Structures are given as C-alpha cells and as structure tokens.
Amino acid sequence: MANQNERAELHKTIWKIANDLRGSVDGWEFKAYVLGSIFYRFISENICDYIHGLMVDAGQPDFNYATISDEMAENIRKKMVEEKGYFILPSQLFQNVVQSADKDENLNERLTSIFRSIEASAQGTESEDDLRGLFSDFAVDNSALGSTVIKRNQLLAKVLRTVAAMDLGSRYDDTENDTFGDTYEFLMQMYAANAGKSGGEFFTPQQVSELLARLASWNNSNIQKVYDPACGSGSLLLKFAKTVGKQNPNLQYFGQEVNPTTYNLCRINMFLHNVNYDNFDIRLEDTLLKPQHMQDAPFDAIVSNPPYSLKWEGKDNAILINDDRYAPAGVLAPKSAADLAFTLHMLWHLSERGTAAIVEFPGVLYRGGDEKKIRQYLIKNNRVDTVIQLPANLFFGVGIATCIIVLKKSAKTDASVLFIDASKLFQKDGNKNVLLPEHQDKIMELFANRKDEQYLAKLVKNDDILENDCNLSVSSYVEQEDTREVIDIAEVNAKLLSLVAEGNELNKKIEAIVKELGE
C-alpha cells in the first residue's frame, strides 16, 4: 500500500466486511472462512505469478496460467511441487472458482474437492507435512453457515466474492509487497481482540513480537535458525522474516504448537509471508512432553510467549526428571505452572552464542519452592542476561503486567543480570496499552548499554541476587520514582497562619455587625 493511511483504511474496510459477512456465525469460528479464503486466493495468485515470471524469462510475457487447460498444466505439476511445495490446476484457481461461485449449486463440494487436491499434490514429497490439513478448519457443511446447502453455498460464495474484491495488490513486480501477510495478521489480531482470552492464547501483539525479535537478534549478524516452541499463529517467528530474513533469505524457521487450529494458522501465515515450504518446519505436538526439534538444535535465536501457568505432568511423570532439558536444574517446574519448564526447554535448545527472549508470567520471578530452585540454577550458571518489566494490559485477555526474560549461554560478558523497568513506557490505545517504536527504542538502548539508569535500569551481580532469595522481580532492584507532589511544610504553616488571621479578622467583623444590630 502506498502509505499508512491507505493501509489503515484498507484494514478498517476489511474488518467491516469480515464482520458484516458472518451473520449468525460466531466471529471466532468464522475466522476460518475469511482467513482460509485469503489463503486460497494467495496461493492461487502466487503460483500464477511464479509461473508468469518463469515464462517472462523464457520470452513469453503474455502467458497466462489461469487460462490454459488442466491437461496442459499437468506438464509442470512436478516442477511446481518441487519449487513451491504445492500444485493447483487452472480450473481450481481462486480467480476461476469465484467467477462462477454464485451460480454453482455444488460450490461446497467443489471447494472440498479443490482443497483436498491441493493438499494431495504434496503427498510423498518434502512439503507433505507443510500442506497436510491446511484447510481442515474450512468446514463447508457447517450448519452455522446456513440451515440448507443452498444457504451455506450462498454465504460461501459471498465470502469468496468479498475476498476477491479486497485490494491486496499484485506480486508481479513488487517483491516488497506484503499486503496479504499484513492483512492476515491484522484480521487475526482483530479476531483475537474480540475473542478475549481464547484469542490471546494464540496471538502476541505485533509490537511485543517486534521487541522480542530485536532482543534475540541484537548484536548477532549470523542468525541461521530461529525457533519458537509455542509458536501460536507464528507472529514471533515472522518478525524475523521482516528483519533478519531480508538479509538472509535462507533463514530457517522452526516452531511447535499443540493446538491443531493454531498450528494451521501458523503454517498458512508462513506461506502468506512468502516463506517457502523448505524454509520452515512447524510441528503439531506437546512441546514439554514430545519435543519435535531436538535434532535440529541448537538455534541461534529463540523467541516465545508460552502459555501462562499451564498445568502439566511434572513430578507425576517419573521419566521427566531425567530428561536432558530438565535434569540439569535438579527439579521440575510445579505441576500447576509449567512456565519454567518451557524456559529450561528453550535454554537446552539455545546455541552457545545465541539469545532467547521469552515472555513470562511475573510469578515465576519470585515464587518459592521448586521454581526458586530453578531460578537458582539459572543464576548460578549465569544464564539470565536481562529481565524486563513490561507495561500492564498489552496482551489480549491478560490485563496483568508481564515480563521478558533474556537468556544466554557463553555469550554473556559479566556475571550480572540487567533489570529494566519499562512498565511506564506505553501509550493508551482504546482499552489496551501499546509499545510505540520510541518505547521499543528506549528499551533496546537500555539493553545495549547494560548500565544503571535511575528509575529505569539496574545492573545487579548474580551473587547479590542469590542472597536475595533468587528474586528476579524488577521492582526489587530498580528504584521507583516518587511522583507524589513535594510538600513545603514552611509554606503550608505560613498559609495556615494567614488563614487563621483572616478567620480572626472575619470573626471581629461579624461580632461588630451583630453588636450593631442589637443596638
């Protein structure tokens, strides 16, 4: 889009359209149809653009893949699957299906057949896992869409037409155009905001994602692999695609997610941000019990916003204490709060020169018991680099102030922890708080300088932290500014004396008036 105003206007229009479309369908459920249609349009246009580029190089600039026969297209099936990870026949392209959608009495069956065909095109190839089940949430026979097949097809056709009319730009000659990915993330953010806590479980606000990416990539120009063990919709990983990925097109993205719907959203998000299938590896499984990327470790950068206070097996699973990820600490995170289990998992996966930036619930910074023992292990081994207190009310469905813990291994230059109080660095935006670019810049300045700054930052030796009950709470070390108005006692006393004198004078006048009236 040409500028921020046009982009904001597009977003406003898209959200109104998405809301107007859904009718009686719950917005959180309806997101699958809007987001799925955007993805269907994207991969259709993307493969056409890719083929168009090949034909331009071959001296045939007027070639239009969407207009050729399916039989002719079969000749390039193998090449497209190898290079793009999937294949779509011309008759199955979004732009061709939408033209007849209004009159297609079998639209639901046609879409189901097309989606199965796209996923099946990758079977037996390297991209099979990346395509499998991508359209599983696009349930064309969902009764919430309408009481009859005719009504459901009418709504599906309306969704396709509406998505087709969205001004999402062209990729023929603009490799920097990321309107598809940008629109997708905008809609996910809006759905998350309206879904409250359930939406917040899969979406990290973009300004927080950006801060985590900046922290994890700071002073490291050789990042080859980035990892998120609780990747949600992939927003944290994709911040690297927009920063580090521009300098390193071969950057590899690894993630794991336990929720099937969110797992699909993440893979779709990768495609929509033009991350090719062979550059990402997103797995569906329980990270704490069945990690999927131990053979891919170590990772140069790790960013994550794992679920807060998640219940897990902990001590009930006898083999976990011998797990390579948890064993070094000597104890397991409590069954009622797996936060530090995720932390230890990430530390194990981190390279010697890498950095992990993790959003944490504040309780893990000061609670006792086994969590204290895990903090003690981290501090004694000099793994905690920085703790940042964030403002409250940044996340959807979570009003409490969260924090960021930055972990390092051998890359640390001192035996200290930097504490940063960023709790007041925000701007109100409706009922939420946001980190503006200047707030992020200030946090990064404090992080890079690694020295004391009154009311904002304090560098504390590990030994002092250990003596302070292994407390990593920022408020325990960074002095709070006293914003109360300073009272000048002498000035107050003088004012009181003045008021008393005025009162005495007034009393004399009243007595004189009363005496005069009595006479």
Would you state the pLDDT for residue 305? 93
pLDDT of residue 269: 87
Cis-peptide, bond into residue 298, ω within 30° of zero = yes
How much is the pLDDT for 397?
A: 60
Q: Closest Cα partner for 229 from 279, 301, 277, 278?
A: 301
447-502 pLDDT, tens digit per residue, is 999 999 999 999 999 999 999 999 999 999 999 876 656 666 777 777 777 877 77
Residue 518 vs residue 307, higher pLDDT: 307
Does position 396 have pLDDT exceeding 80, yes or no? no
Query: What superfamily in CATH does domain 4-179 come from?
Result: N6 adenine-specific DNA methyltransferase, N-terminal domain (1.20.1260.30)
The segment with the largest mean pLDDT, out of 168-182, 263-277, 444-458, is: 444-458
**Residue 124 Ramachandran class (φ > 0 left, ψ -120 to 50 alpha, else beta):** left
Reported confidence tier of residue 178, pLDDT bands at 50, 70, 90:
low
In the chain, ranges of CATH 1.20.1260.30 domains: 4-179
Would the pLDDT of 2 be above 70? no
Strands 416-421 and 384-389: parallel
pLDDT of residue 241: 78
pLDDT, one tens digit per residue, over 221-231 is: 889 999 999 99
- pLDDT classification of 391: cutoffs 50, 70, 90: very high
Q: Which residue has the higher pLDDT, 454 or 505?
A: 454
pLDDT at 204: 79
Rounded mean pLDDT, 274-293: 95
Residue 148's beta-bridge partner residues?
Answer: none
Instruction: Give yes or no for residue 28 having a pLDDT over 80.
Output: no
**Does residue 313 have a pLDDT over 90?**
yes
Return the pLDDT at 197. Answer: 47
* Whole-number average pLDDT of the chain: 87
State whether residue 108 is helix, strand or coil.
helix
> Residue 516 has what pLDDT?
67
Contact 354, 374 (CB under 8 A): no
For the cut 80, the answer to whether the pLDDT of residue 44 exceeds it is yes
Are residues 348 and 329 in contact, defined by beta-carbon separation less than 8 angstroms?
Answer: no
Residue 302: beta bridge partners? 227, 356
- Return the higher-pLDDT residue of 168 and 407: 407
Amino acid 31: pLDDT: 78
Give the per-residue pLDDT at 172. 40
- In whole angstroms, give the CA distance from residue 406 to residue 384: 6
Which of 12-26, 256-270, 459-473 is predicted with the least confidence, judged by mean pLDDT? 12-26
pLDDT of residue 173: 39
pLDDT band at 200 (very low <50, low <70, confident <90, very high): very low
SS3 of residue 141 by DSSP: coil
Is 3.40.50.150 the CATH number for 199-476?
yes
DSSP string over 468-506: TTT---GGGTSPPP--SPPP-HHHHHHHHHHHHHHHHHH
Torsion on CA atoms 135, 139, 141, 143, rounded to nearest 10: -170
- pLDDT of 394 > 50? The answer is yes
Higher-pLDDT residue of 241, 108: 108
Q: Residue 334's pLDDT is what?
A: 96
Query: Rounded to whole angstroms, how far apart are CA atoms 97 and 161?
Result: 10
Per-residue pLDDT reduced to its tens digit, 350-366: 999 999 999 998 999 99
Q: How many angstroms separate the CA atoms of 511 and 500, rounded?
A: 16
pLDDT digits (tens, 9 = 90+) for 73-125: 999 999 999 999 999 999 999 999 999 999 999 999 999 999 999 999 999 99
Q: Whole-angstrom Cα distance, residue 415 to residue 396?
A: 36
Q: Coil, helix or strand for 459?
A: strand
Q: What is the DSSP letter of 278?
A: G
Task: For residues 357 and 377, give the distance between their C-alpha atoms in angstroms, rounded to a whole number.
Answer: 18
- pLDDT value, residue 87: 97
pLDDT of residue 484: 58
Q: What is the DSSP letter of 395?
A: B
Alpha carbons 176 and 1: distance in angstroms, whole number: 10
| Nearest by Cα to 333 from 371, 359, 367 | 371
CA distances from residue 113 to 109, 110, 272, 364, 476 in whole angstroms, order as listed = 6, 5, 22, 49, 60
- Provide, for the chain, the percentages of residues in helix, strand and coil under a 3-state DSSP scheme, each rounded to the nearest 5: 50, 10, 35
Percent pLDDT > 90 in the chain is 60
Considering the chain, tell me which residue range(s) the CATH 3.40.50.150 domain(s) occupy.
199-476
